[in-house]
């Protein structure tokens, strides 16, 4: 069974590879902007579905497409990918000393356009108090700029994290445990291995 990851995220790719799957990567090109008043969990679920269905619509019958989207929220406010250093600074100050939520929506679609499984994972993440020096050094590393919430837990920002409640891989960008559950029926159905 052919599997496609509908994401250009190097972190998602690495997590899926580490879980032992063989797959291709095709970026969906879906607009990731939130709709007015859209909650973080709804945004993550919607974008995962749109990404999976967009790519599945272009593929041959039966191909499996995995879409995912990660959204960071603190006190109900969505923190996207910072556009510049000032925005990264504001996000990191907002996260400092607080617990925020990381939502990842995952959608598995079968070409040409049928959703076969969906999941939403939420992981609370606590940050210690960050000093101005912590924030400025982190921004200087260029690490914040392609990541929801302006940080990557697997990189230099690991030292900011005081606790993670639940799936660590979800915070990186893909709840591997959920994805394995979603793909297992296709591995066991005799339609050919995908991992």
* Per-residue pLDDT at 187: 85
pLDDT digits (tens, 9 = 90+) for 16-66: 999 999 999 999 999 999 999 999 999 999 999 999 999 999 999 999 999
Select which of 31, 69, 142, 146 is catalytic.
69
- Extents of the domains making up the chain: 3-188
Q: How confident is the model over 80-119, as pLDDT tens digits? A: 999 999 999 999 999 999 999 999 999 999 999 999 999 9
**Would you tell me which CATH number, out of the four given (3.40.50.11930, 3.90.950.10, 3.10.450.100, 3.40.800.10), belongs to the domain 3-188?**
3.90.950.10
Question: Is 132 marked active-site?
Answer: no
CB environment 104-143: b (16+ within 10 A), e (fewer) = bbbbbbbbeeebebbbbbbbebebeebeeebbeebbeeeb
Q: Label the pairing between strands 3-5 and 64-74.
A: parallel
């Amino acid at each position: 069974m052919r599997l496609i990851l509908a994401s250009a995220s190097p972190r998602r790719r690495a997590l899926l590879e580490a879980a032992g799957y063989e797959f291709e990567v095709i970026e969906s090109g879906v607009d990731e902007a939130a709709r007015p008043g859209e909650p973080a969990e709804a945004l993550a679920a919607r974008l995962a579905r749109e990404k999976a269905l967009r790519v599945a619509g272009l593929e041959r019958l039966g191909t499996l497409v995995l879409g995912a989207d990660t959204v960071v929220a603190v006190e109900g406010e969505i923190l996207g990918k910072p556009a510049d250093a000032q925005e990264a600074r504001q996000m990191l100050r907002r996260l400092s000393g607080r617990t925020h939520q990381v939502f990842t929506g995952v959608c598995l679609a079968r070409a040409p356009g049928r959703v076969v499984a969906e999941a939403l994972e939420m992981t609370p993440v606590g940050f210690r108090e960050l000093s101005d020096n912590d924030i400025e050094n982190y921004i200087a590393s260029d690490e914040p700029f392609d990541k929801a919430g302006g940080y990557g837990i697997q990189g230099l920002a690991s030292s900011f994290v005081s606790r993670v409640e639940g799936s660590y891989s979800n915070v990186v960008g893909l709840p591997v445990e959920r994805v394995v559950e979603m793909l297992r029926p296709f591995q066991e159905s005799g339609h050919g291995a995908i991992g």
